[in-house]
């Protein structure tokens, strides 16, 4: 077993073990991938103020996200096709999150269904991410299923009314369902660990959709339905409809503009996520960490502000927290762990991020994550309003 010291180690191992079409799906952006790269690169420009001779004992990274206690200000982000990175991937990731004490968010486009994850975690509360489809009856039933499964928050994604052009997915034939071209089958044959895992599970289709939509009884019927279902007319009135239908904690994902942030605050949602969809939608958009301070300044007293995009270490979490994010979401970081080592890999990713957050906070002179703010950052190195 290779020695794992950081998220990059997990990424390299996942690249070896996961078929190319699914690895590329996780580790890519749209068009030129400039925003995808900026999400990571802009974190590196931010520098810390190192402090000394301060009592560093009794440190705590515990805080809350939408009123829920968490072991650190991190949640696992909703990611589609997670169960194709590793067999039963969503269940394994949810178990790792439960054990660590952070929220797990299940995607509408997951392989394991809402019911699978609920059963696989002994009905432990988790969050559910919703894509709004044209089929409103399906959406109504999907929300009801999330309630029955004891989901404690609904994450409504607002930036995928249409799909960004993702060149690697096009080249690999990544679609719903994935195309098993000769090149893909040859590549899968070089990943025996992955293949054996997939042969050993019955969960190999979109569990929240197949069997729950009229006429979609298997993966062969899914492609046509999916292509026609994302709703380009989605608007703020739909947010109000979903908020009323759900009736619980609501988080709005995909906010990158101050004006949209103000509308999100006015909507009555409990939190918003500053997010550019991991650089997978509008290429050329700003990085999430650059967009964060202006949004916090505009609405941070009216609505809880979270962020995602580019989080690859506990230091990134600390920087986001310093710039006003109550919590962060990790997508690729946990997917690398999952693809590399299954549930143990997700647990390892969380442990690495927690350790880096804990130690870096101490080096900056603080022992409580609740007291982290801009004072720990070197002036002139971080984005301002």
Helix (H, G, I), strand (E, B) or coil at 9: helix
Walk along the chain (385 residues) and give the pLDDT tens digit of each residue. 789 999 999 999 999 999 999 999 999 999 999 999 999 999 999 999 999 999 999 999 999 999 999 999 999 999 999 999 999 999 999 999 999 999 999 999 999 999 999 999 999 999 999 999 999 999 999 999 999 999 999 999 999 988 888 988 888 877 666 677 888 899 999 999 999 999 999 999 999 998 898 877 766 666 667 767 888 999 999 999 999 999 999 999 999 999 999 999 999 999 999 999 999 999 999 999 999 999 999 999 999 999 999 999 999 999 999 999 999 999 999 999 999 999 999 999 999 999 999 999 999 999 999 999 999 999 999 999 8
At 218 the three-state DSSP class reads coil
Residues designated as active site? 277
Q: Could you write out the DSSP letters of every residue in 268-333?
A: T-SEEEE--GGGTSSTTPPPHHHHHHHHHHHHTTTSEEEEESS--SHHHHHHHHHTT-SEEEESHH
**What crossing angle do the helices spanning 192-199 and 182-189 adopt, rounded to 10°?**
100
CB 203 within 8 A of CB 87: yes
- The pLDDT assigned to 368 comes to 98
pLDDT at 132: 93
3-class SS of residue 212? coil
- C-alpha angle 338/115/201, rounded to 5°? 50
**What class does CATH assign to 7-376?**
alpha beta
- Please list, in sequence order, all residues whose beta carbon lies within 8 angstroms of the beta carbon of residue 362, skipping any fewer than 6 positions away: 56, 59
Query: Would you list the domain boundaries of the chain?
Result: 7-376
- Residue 16: partners with Cβ closer than 8 Å, 6 or more residues away: none
pLDDT at 336: 98
Query: Is the separation of the CB atoms in 222 and 176 below 8 Å?
Result: yes
Instruction: Give bridge partners of residue 274 from the DSSP assignment.
Output: 255, 307
Structure tokens at 144: 């009801």
pLDDT of residue 177: 63
CB 336: neighbour CB atoms within 10 A?
30
pLDDT on residue 214: 81
């Amino acid at each position: 077993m290779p020695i794992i010291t950081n998220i990059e180690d997990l990424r390299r191992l996942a690249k070896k073990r996961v078929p190319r079409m699914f690895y590329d799906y996780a580790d890519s952006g749209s068009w030129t991938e400039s925003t995808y790269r900026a999400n990571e690169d802009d974190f590196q420009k931010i520098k810390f103020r190192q402090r000394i001779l301060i009592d560093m004992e009794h440190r705590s990274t515990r805080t809350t996200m939408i009123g829920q206690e968490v072991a650190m200000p991190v949640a696992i982000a909703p990611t589609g096709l997670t169960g194709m990175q590793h067999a039963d991937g969503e269940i394994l990731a949810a178990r790792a999150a439960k054990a660590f004490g952070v929220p797990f968010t299940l995607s509408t486009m997951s392989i394991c269904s809402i019911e699978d994850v609920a059963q696989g975690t002994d009905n432990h509360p988790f969050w559910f991410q919703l894509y709004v489809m044209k089929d409103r009856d399906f959406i109504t039933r999907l929300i009801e299923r999330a309630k029955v499964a004891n989901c404690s928050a609904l994450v409504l994604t607002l930036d995928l009314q249409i799909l960004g052009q993702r060149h690697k997915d096009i080249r690999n034939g990544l679609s719903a369902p994935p195309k098993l071209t000769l090149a893909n089958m040859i590549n899968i044959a070089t990943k025996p660990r992955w293949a054996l895992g997939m042969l050993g599970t019955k969960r190999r289709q979109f569990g929240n959709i197949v069997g729950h939509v009229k006429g979609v009884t298997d993966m062969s019927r899914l492609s046509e339905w999916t292509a026609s279902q994302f709703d380009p007319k989605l608007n703020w009135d739909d947010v109000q409809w979903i908020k009323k239908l759900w009736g619980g904690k609501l988080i709005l994902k995909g906010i990158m503009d101050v004006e949209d942030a103000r509308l999100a605050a006015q909507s009555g949602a409990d939190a918003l996520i500053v997010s550019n969809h991991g650089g997978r939608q509008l290429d050329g958009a700003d990085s999430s960490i650059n967009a964060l301070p202006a949004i916090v300044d505009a609405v941070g007293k009216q609505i809880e502000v979270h962020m995602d995009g580019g989080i690859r270490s506990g230091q990134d979490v600390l920087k986001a927290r310093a710039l006003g994010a109550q919590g962060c979401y990790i997508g690729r970081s946990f997917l690398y762990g999952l693809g590399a080592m299954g549930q143990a890999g997700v647990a390892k990713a969380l442990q690495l991020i927690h350790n880096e957050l804990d130690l870096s906070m101490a080096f900056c002179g603080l022992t409580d994550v609740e007291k982290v703010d801009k004072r720990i950052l070197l002036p002139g190195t971080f984005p301002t309003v």
